[in-house]
Amino acid sequence: MSPPRPDLSDLLTALDPDAPLAQRHLWLIGLLAWVRGQGNDSAASVARVQLLLDAASARPEWLLRWQAWWRALRRDVDIAPMLADFGFAPRTAFLSELGHRLRRKVLPGTPETTDLAELFGLLLPAASDSDWLLALPPEQLDRVQAVLFPPATEPQQHDSSGWDVTLLDALTFCVGQVSATGFASEVRVRMSAQARQGRHFHQLPTQLEVLKQAVLADGALAPAAQQAASDLRTQLEHCLQAAHSVYAHLDEHGISVGIVFRLQQLRHRVQRIHDLLDCLQSPHRMQAAAQLLAKLVQVRQNSQSVRALVASSSQLTAAKVAERNAESGEHYITRNRAEYMAMLGNAAGGGAIIGLTTWGKFLLYGLALSPFWMGFAAGMNYALSFVLVQLLHLTVATKQPAVTAPAMVAKLRDMHTPGAVRRFVDEVANLFRSQVAAIAGNLALVVPVVLLLSWGLQTFGGQPMISASQAEHVLHDMDVLGPTALFAAFTGVLLFASSIVAGWFENWFVLHRLDSALAHNPAFTRWLGTARALRWSRFLRANVSGFAANISLGLMLGVIPVVLAFFGLGMEVRHVTLSAGQVAAAVASLGTDSLRSPGFWLAVAGVVVVGPINLAVSFYLAFRLALKAQAISDVNRARIRSSIAHRIRHQPLSFLLPPHTPADTGDETDTTDNNADTDTDRHG
């Protein structure tokens, strides 16, 4: 049970300017908590501020104690660093800020501090604090200044020793950080040549110094100070444009979360400078200060969120991952009969490789390894098989959706162009056909290959691929009435995760220019020779994404279930092609009589369920990521759904059978888009 809140009389009586630091700060925390009240009621908070002013005006002796308390606060606490740095990372590094936010969530703050940024979170911790600060009327703020912050001397044209100096100090700190970011090598070398030649960051300190001299000489509202502030704002815009040119380099050469984070911090610092200049140039000082405090409350709320930090800093990376997956996914989509037949052949070859993988998995059981090493060995078996499929230019069906979804959404990059939705629906039909062909091709050969291997092992080795007890266990595990569907969905998540690893790794490879290093670094060229180093460079650049996807997927399929089992989470993987091969091995071991058993047909039903779930989960996750990367609006998503429904109603066979002629990819419009728009309007 929380203690009762003190009333205003008790708070005013408790004010002690000679109290220890922590007690003085606790008093201010209590006073602001009383102003805030129990609920989110700005009007009630404004009324309590009025009550505070009335009570203070009626107690001259209290005002003397308050002024002594305020002088002690200004003596012990420096306000300028908080105005300049509050809400920004202590170090301009993403991982450093991530750790800082996690620590602030776990570790409590203390009022015994001279760091006003740390104290600010205790003074104004609620999001509603910004509401009541902004709700304070101008006449009440004028009274706050007159009652609580009267001038210590006769009024002058400007305040050269108080608030102006504090704001100028805060501006100095902010401008210094902006200049440091612009001068950082990782940012500077990625600017455009024009931005570097402009030397905009070099001129910032000079512009600030002109402003400081004008303010200290004639006041912040003097014409010279106003012109200097305008020049500083213009120079800041030039700096932002120079920093923005870095994004073009990142888009071409790979995204760095650290650099993106620094650029975001730079943009927010520039906005803070604008806020401080607004406060400095305002003729209504107390109103400007209240608005600045309200913004800082909002900044605190934003700076607490770990999720917001990760999302904002990784948005460009996610977009680049989706774009690179789109490039990889294009060759998995068939658009005519020739490509469709080629997909069937490649998928059949992939199924044959997976048949050998199934045999390898059962061979590993004979090694009697510990759980982790068994999982690692199984993962390496999968990874090597998937890499072999890649090198032979074959296909495994379930690996397609996570890279084909971004390729489809790439068709929506320009939603305003004629025929964009129609082209996307064409891609949906093309992808569905491709998936059907890939699964059919995989299953058409994985089962015969496993049966042939089992027959050969039994004929020439005297025993089948697996024992009868293992075969019964396989059929039980694949039972459609068990957790097969859940495990298939879990496998779909891993399939999607492997595409993220692939896109991230390719982005990292390009960002650090490893292909160029391999082709031209003297150490590599001496070892490999110039021609061979160039060939290896081109080979790795073309295949690094596939290697990352296949190796990561294989290891995740083998190792992650073992790791989860260690924590008591009994998750397993269900991959449609591997599962079909295992069921075939079980039938070969148990004989044809097993074909009449309910367990066999329940296992077959499990395989039938696994395939669509594998595809649907991985495709859905990749599709959502791609939609976010392309910033597709809800309205356009409704158009897409309506257009797909229209195609299903009028051309259902287009999702199963390939066209006889190559797909038209022109930009002209057709009735599909018009009908889709009509359907969208009709359904709201």
Q: Write out pLDDT tens, residues 299-313.
A: 887 776 666 666 655
Against a cut of 0.85, is the pTM above it? no
- Residue 560 belongs to what H/E stretch? helix 530-566
List of residues 6+ apart from 256 with CB closer than 8 A: 186, 250, 511
- For residue 593, the 8-state DSSP code is G
Q: How far apart are CA 407 and CA 402, in angstroms?
A: 10
88: tokens are 């920004």
Task: Provide the sign of the torsion angle of the four alpha carbons 114, 115, 116, 121, taken in this order.
Answer: negative
Helix or strand or coil: residue 115? Answer: coil
CA distance 607 to 478: 7
Q: What is the pLDDT of residue 61?
A: 93
Residues 6 or more apart whose CB falls under 8 angstroms from that of 300 comprise 86, 87, 120, 121, 124, 125
Q: Which residues contact 441 (CB under 8 A, 6 or more apart)?
A: 343, 344, 345, 346, 347, 348, 349, 350, 351, 395, 397
Count the neighbouring beta carbons within 10 Å of the beta carbon of residue 279: 25
| 3-class secondary structure, 108 | coil
How far is 408 from 412, CA to CA, in rounded Å? 8
Q: For residue 307, what pLDDT is reported? A: 66
Angle at 625 between CA 620 and CA 628, to 5 degrees: 125
Q: Which residue blocks in 512-529 are alpha helix, DSSP H?
A: 514-520, 522-528
Does residue 402 contact residue 622 with C-beta atoms inside 8 Å? yes
Q: Which residues touch 572 (CB under 8 Å, ≥6 apart)?
A: 477, 483, 487, 490, 561
- Which phi and psi angles does 17 have, rounded to 5°? -65, -15
The residues near 34 (Cβ < 8 Å, ≥ 6 apart) are 5, 6, 7, 8, 11, 48
Alpha carbons within 13 A on the beta-carbon side of 437: 30
**CB–CB of 200/245 below 8 Å?**
no
Predicted pLDDT of residue 63 = 93
| Dihedral sign (CA 80, 84, 86, 92) | negative
pLDDT < 70 stretches in the chain? 1-6, 90-97, 100, 104, 152-161, 304-332, 398-416, 626, 628-631, 660-684
CA dihedral 500, 504, 506, 510 (to 10 degrees): 160
Which token pair is 481? Answer: 């009435």
Cα atoms in the Cβ-side hemisphere of radius 13 Å centred on 374: 15
Cβ-based neighbour number of residue 454 at 10 Å: 23
